[in-house]
Amino acid sequence: MKRILSLFLTLAMSMAVLTACGTGGASVSTAANAGSGGAASGDSGYDTLHITAAHGAAESTTVHKAWLKFKELVEAGSGGAVTVDIYPNQQMGGDSECIASCQQGNLTMDSPSTSPLAAFDPTMNTFETPFLFSDRDTVYSVLDSDAGQEVLDSLEASGLKGLGYFENGFRELTCNKEINSLADLKGLKIRVMENDVQMAMWKAMGANPTPMAFGDIYTALQQKTVDAQENPLELINNTKFYEVQDHVYMTNHIYTAYVVFMNLDTWNSLNSKTQDLIQDCVKQATDYQRGICKQAEQDCMDAINASGSSKVYEVSDDLHNEMVQACSSVYDMVKKLAGNDITEKIYAAAGFNG
């Protein structure tokens, strides 16, 4: 059903673009015309651009609120020359489909997790390092560092302009059995993101991981195709995974960022005034989300605990140490996939000895 809807939306958008451009240009952007004096830039000096943006999370999440903030700021800042339509909840397809759509110019902007993006740009694998970050302040300082910018810039080789990082969050394990030691993970059928490092780390911990798109998780848990999954509290709550899982363990085994990007041709067709505004609005939306996500996470924890279907538990230091130890076997893989140089820079910025 979602596929059909997404196909319909894509078709509807393409029609709208063709009508708007009148040139048959394939890009969603009308900016190419604007640059060559075709579409009105107006008195404001901003290019005319209609942005279609997609992401995979529910409308109640802070990443959706960040997108709404971006829309509000960029539309107001450009005096209406730049407009934004946001499609949440995998309406435009799963992460991998949306990344490909953005590369092809059928979507203007997207914000997938780093993990599925790594199949398009292996540099992203630096962020798949388990236990790389222990707190949000370190996360933000690394994402905002020169090394964080270098990872964003690497997207250009894939036809994408990296603009910033929204937050998905620290990931927690959910399952129906009690987990007290690493031995309890043995053979656990767990859904993981479509990423080689994620697969390897769960195997290293003794589990039996299956890669799967985000949109298929709830049904897979319900039908017991898998017994467990892992995601940040916001998604566990807002996608209602707690309804079909008894326990949430605060493993914090990885921090996932959402990477915000634009189709590179569209970006390159914009004048610098428009580019600067878009970049600045992504930055402001990022700051806005950072200001609300900690409280949102707490609220999600409270909601899960109050649900009567699931409870949130801290993990013991012993279990944490066992997990860290087992996962250390994937650091070499990360360096090989992402590149040693950039990985060393990210590790240094994070104060991490991988």
Question: Which CB sits closer to ligand TK8, 35 or 215?
Answer: 215
Considering the rule CB under 6 A, would residue 27 count as an interface residue with ligand TK8? no
The residues in 201-220 that bind ligand TK8, with binding defined as CB under 6 A, are: 214
Question: Which CB sits closer to ligand TK8, 235 or 270?
Answer: 235
CA 245/CA 207 separation, integer angstroms:
17
CA 148/CA 134 separation, integer angstroms:
17
List 256, 266, 269, 286, residue binding ligand TK8 (CB under 6 A): 256
Considering the rule CB under 6 A, would residue 193 count as an interface residue with ligand TK8? yes
Instruction: Give yes or no for a contact between 238 and 300, defined as CB atoms under 8 angstroms apart.
Output: yes
Angular region, 110: left φ>0, alpha ψ -120 to 50, beta rest? beta
Report in angstroms how near the CB of residue 109 gets to ligand TK8 at its nearest.
14
The residues in 219-238 that bind ligand TK8, with binding defined as CB under 6 A, are: 231, 235
**Alpha helices per DSSP H over 22-157:** 31-35, 62-77, 95-104, 114-117, 136-143, 146-153
List 88, 93, 112, 354, residue binding ligand TK8 (CB under 6 A): 112
Q: Which helix H or strand E contains 49, and what residues bound it? A: strand 49-54
Other CB atoms within 10 Å distance of the CB of residue 184? 15
The residues in 116-175 that bind ligand TK8, with binding defined as CB under 6 A, are: 168
CA 183/CA 197 separation, integer angstroms:
21
Report in angstroms how near the CB of residue 275 gets to ligand TK8 at its nearest.
26
Question: Which CB sits closer to ligand TK8, 256 or 343?
Answer: 256
CA 330/CA 201 separation, integer angstroms:
6
Considering the rule CB under 6 A, would residue 108 count as an interface residue with ligand TK8? no
Report in angstroms how near the CB of residue 57 gets to ligand TK8 at its nearest.
5
Question: Which CB sits closer to ligand TK8, 238 or 343?
Answer: 238
Report in angstroms how near the CB of residue 257 gets to ligand TK8 at its nearest.
10
The residues in 44-103 that bind ligand TK8, with binding defined as CB under 6 A, are: 56-57, 95
Q: How many helices (H) and strands (E) does the chain have?
A: 15, 11
Instruction: Quickly tell me which residue has 């798109």 as its tokens.
Output: 213
Report in angstroms how near the CB of residue 350 gets to ligand TK8 at its nearest.
20
Report in angstroms how near the CB of residue 54 gets to ligand TK8 at its nearest.
9
Beta-bridged to residue 51, according to DSSP, are 84
Report in angstroms how near the CB of residue 101 gets to ligand TK8 at its nearest.
13
Site residue total, ligand TK8 (CB under 6 A): 11
**Listed residue (349, 350, 250, 245) closest to 307, CA to CA:** 245
CA 19/CA 11 separation, integer angstroms:
12
CA 336/CA 330 separation, integer angstroms:
10
Report in angstroms how near the CB of residue 170 gets to ligand TK8 at its nearest.
11
- Chain contacts with ligand TK8 (rule: CB under 6 A): 56-57, 95, 112-113, 168, 193, 214, 231, 235, 256
